[in-house]
Each structure stands twice: as C-alpha cells, then as structure tokens.
Amino acid sequence: MAQAVQLHLNQALMRIPRRAESADRSTLAATYVAAGSFSALINSADHQILFGRRGTGKTHGLLHLQDLVERTGDVALYLDLRTIGSTGGLYANEALAPAQRGTQLLVDTLEAVHDQLLTLAVDGQVPDPDGFLRGLDALVAAATEVEVVGETEQEQTRGAADERRSGLEASLGRAAGVRGSLRHNASTTASSRRKRTGVEQHRVLFGPLSRALQAVADGIRPARLWLLLDEWSSVPLDLQPFLADLVRRGVLPIRGITVKIAAIEHRARFFVPVHGDYLGIEVGSDAASTVSLDDALVFDESRERAQAFFRELFSRHVRPVLEAMVRPAPDAAEAFRDGAFAELVRAAEGVPRDAINIAALAAQHAHADKIAVAHVRRAARDWYLRDKRVALSRHEDADRLLARLVDEVVGRRRSRTFLLPTADRPPAIDALCDARMLHVLRRGVVDPRRPGRSYDGFAIDYGCYVALLTDDTKNVPNDVFAFDKAVVDLTRLGG
C-alpha cells in the first residue's frame, strides 16, 4: 500500500505544468505561492516593472494578479507580447528603419488592446456603453492614421491637329449635270496628369490616443483598468523604447489605468536619450517602482525560508491531483527521503521552473520508491544537459567563459560563489544569467578596503558542478563571500 501511495506521489510530481500559460485560470489561482511580500507589492495600483529571469514566475504572477483584480470588479487586460503582430517578421527586419518597425509595433499593440476592450463591450460588462464605444472608435482613429511619404510629379501633355479637305467633282452625261462635295475635318487634344509616388506609413497620434483611452477608462468607472504586458523582452531591443514611449505618453497619464510590465532585466531597454529629451520610460520616475522576483527568490541567507516556499509550491500543485487518487492526500515533501528535498531546493537555485523540472525527472528516476539525494543529483544533471546546456550552445563566448569560471571558482577555489565588479561587465555574463547558469545572490557589495568600488555576488549553477559531488560533504563547494578570495578577474580568465 505504501508503495502505491509513493507511486501516486511521484506521478503527481511528473504531472505539474511546466509553464503558467498552459494551465487554466482556477489552477493558477490555487497554485500561486508568493515569495515574501511580492504579492502585496504587485497588487498596488502603482505602475510597475516586474523583473525576473526565465522561470521565476513572472507570467504566473501577472495571471494571478489578473484573477485577483477581476474578483474585485476591476478589468484586467493581459497581453503576451510574443503574440503581437509579426515579431519574427516585420519587427526583426533590420532592412527597415527602426521608426517604421516601431510604429507598426505600436499599431499592432493598440489593435490587440482594442480587440480585448471590444470583447468587453460585446459581453455587456461596461457601465457606460455609449461613452465606452465612442472611446473605442477614437482609439481606432488615433492608431490607424495613415500618411503617404514620397514625391509628387506633375505631367501635362497638349496636342492639336487640323485637317481640311475640299474638292469638286463634275461629270457630264446624257443629262448634263454637276455633282460636287466639300469636306472639312478639325481636331484638338490636350491632357494633364498628376503622378504621386510614395509609401503609406502609419502614424500614432499620442494626443488623440490619450483622450480616447481616458474615455475608455471613464466608460468602465468605478472599475479600474489594469494593463498587464508580459514577455516584454521578446520585443527586439531597438524597438522596446518605442513601445515604452507609447505607454508613457498614451497610457501612464490616464486616470483609472494601471500598467504592469514583466521583463528580463538585462534584456530590457526602456529608455534612450534623444536630443536633450528621451524616448521611452524613465524607470523609477515614469514607472513608480520596480519589483524583482530574482531578489524575492534569493534564499542564500535563509535555507529554512527557501524550503518552506518550495514545500508550499509543490503541495499546492500536487494536492489536487492526489485527492483524486489517495485519501487523505499526503504532503508533497513525503515523496523525498531525508535530505533529498533540501538538495532539490539547493539544485533549483531559487528558480521555480527548474525546481519543477528537476523534481519531475527525479520522480521518474525513482519510479515507485522515495526520491533520494542521488535521484535529485542525477535529475539536476539531466536537466542541465537537456535544457540549459543546449540553450547556451548558441553563445560560444558565454560557453567558453562558463568553463573557465567553473575551473577557477569550483575547481581551484572550492567555492560556488564569486564577485564581479558592477561596472564594465561583458555581455557573456548576462547571457549566462539569462540561461540560469549564473545566479545573482547579492547586489552592490562594497569592498571595505576600496569603498568606491561595488561588486555583485554570483553563484554558479548547481548543474555545472553536480557531477563532482559525492556522498562526502567535503566535495560540496562553499557559499562564503570573502573579498580576499571571491573577486574574479575576467581579463585574466580571458572573459
């Protein structure tokens, strides 16, 4: 009987959805676990940017927020920017001017907003339908203004022709008579042609757009409109300031609208200076605050808090599945042997998606037995090779730098943590963070010997060195930040 329960537990772990957008709304609401005060922060009416690496729960957080605000009677529009327009086509075509691609991006985004708002009106969920629909009409007009940019040519053609013919024919016959004819032809031609050549281009008029959105917001009062923009970093980097400028000029000033944006920090560009002014959003000024899931999920100083978070995460996902199989449903942590769950938390490095995938692979390896430390380590290695290593293979510089960091930090220093100067960081470090090979544990660490310098503290991913681990705890790298040992000189490593 115990083995049957364990089998059900392991199967439930393997059935946890890997991505939030693949789950239904009720499951998302039931399985959401807030890290620290994150839930309270994003539930405020302030405009905010949510930063976090892939897999930290940005999408889950926004979808959970959508469910919360709709329960209170507000209106939430969730937009996945990966599905807007043709991100892989027109937007990525560098042969076109950035302004042209950026304008089309704005038009496509406004079209997606309009479609969701129109659905709202059709469903009869609007207190003031007439004002709301007038606002939607004005929104369409502001977003679809077209002008022709090009040259105009004038061409005129004039011509004239005058033809005259006259003649007298006479014939003498048995009866004398005269037959004659006179012919006269004349024609004149003239033409004028105007030729206009150019390209039709869209324009987005921010003034009318703001007035249209204000009418839309007024049409749903007293409810508030929440605009939730997910996958911001999927937009090409050079176009992001255009979209940010649309949000700043057309949406942020509107009474009754709150904007939340989810992005990967080092792959987001919200601001570029332009001739004494700027294009986009000035983070911290135009957007009231930023919230970092990376910081919320850093548990290096509290292993107990980390284990509590992931225990709750797995329990909420597993419980509904187990209740249909076993009564009473056991806790998800009961699937693990002593020390195995703590090892899983450590292997996840604070990333929920990695924890879910490693747990599923470990449950598969264990089959009907309890999950042991060896199963977790084997699963972490498999996940590293299947997912992270494959994704990193496209970045040769980052791949080479990672190998040198592992040799230096793990191999020579017997550590998993190191410090890098905050300034002048090579792009390869950002690529490694994006691939979840490096994890930022601390920001703005100041060297007491050189107060003018600041450093960020990194940890090398568990999967990079799990093959070196044995049952002997002497082989476990330490987590201590010490300036005399932790600072890494990337130039010496060839980074």
Find the DSSP H helices in 123-205: 129-143
Q: Which residues contact 19 (CB under 8 A, 6 or more apart)?
A: 59, 353
Same domain for 242 and 131, yes or no, is yes
Pairing of strands 48-51, 257-263: parallel
Same domain for 400 and 489, yes or no, is yes
How far is CA 149 from its chain centroid? 33
In a domain, 335, yes or no: yes
Domain that holds residue 433: 395-493
Q: Which residues contact 427 (CB under 8 A, 6 or more apart)?
A: 397
| 388 secondary structure, DSSP code | I
In a domain, 432, yes or no: yes
**Integer-rounded Cα radius of gyration of the chain:** 34
Distance CA 188, CA 185 (A): 11
Same domain for 287 and 251, yes or no, is yes
180: amino acid identity, one letter: G
Q: What share of the chain is helix, strand, coil (3-state, %, to 5)?
A: 45, 25, 30
- Provide the number of structural domains found in the chain: 4
Same domain for 281 and 253, yes or no, is yes
Tell whether the torsion through CA atoms of 56, 318, 386 and 87 is positive or negative: negative
Distance CA 400, CA 386 (A): 18
In a domain, 20, yes or no: no
Q: Which of 390, 420, 435 is the last residue of a domain?
A: 390
Beta bridge partners of 155: 193
209: amino acid identity, one letter: L
Same domain for 250 and 342, yes or no, is no
In a domain, 16, yes or no: no
pLDDT < 50: residue spans in the chain:
1, 146-150, 152, 160-182, 184, 196, 198-200, 472-473
* DSSP string over 340-377: HHHHHHHHHTT-HHHHHHHHHHHHHHHTTSPB-HHHHH
Distance CA 214, CA 255 (A): 7
Beta bridge partners of 136: none
Distance CA 49, CA 442 (A): 20
Distance CA 75, CA 213 (A): 14
In a domain, 216, yes or no: yes
User: Tens digits of per-residue pLDDT, 52-99?
Assistant: 888 888 888 898 899 889 989 999 999 999 888 755 556 666 677 777
Same domain for 212 and 308, yes or no, is no
Same domain for 131 and 211, yes or no, is yes
The confidence score (pLDDT) of residue 375 equals 95
The CATH number of the domain holding residue 117 is: 3.40.50
Q: Which of 256, 276, 296 is the last residue of a domain?
A: 296
75 close to 226: Cβ distance less than 8 angstroms: yes
In a domain, 5, yes or no: no
In a domain, 25, yes or no: no
User: Tens digits of per-residue pLDDT, 444-494?
Assistant: 888 777 778 888 889 899 988 887 776 544 555 655 555 556 888 887 776
Distance CA 405, CA 495 (A): 9
Same domain for 306 and 267, yes or no, is no
Find the DSSP H helices in 258-412: 293-296, 303-323, 340-348, 352-366, 373-383, 389-392, 396-405
Residue count (the chain): 495
The confidence score (pLDDT) of residue 470 equals 60
Same domain for 158 and 218, yes or no, is no
Nearest to 456 by CA among 259, 251, 276, 295: 295
At 157, phi and psi to the nearest 5?
-130, 130
Same domain for 427 and 470, yes or no, is yes
Q: Which of 296, 329, 352 is the last residue of a domain?
A: 296
At 257, phi and psi to the nearest 5?
-125, 135
Residue 146's H or E segment, with its range, is strand 145-167
Same domain for 122 and 237, yes or no, is yes
In a domain, 262, yes or no: yes
69 close to 29: Cβ distance less than 8 angstroms: no
Distance CA 66, CA 60 (A): 10
Same domain for 215 and 336, yes or no, is no
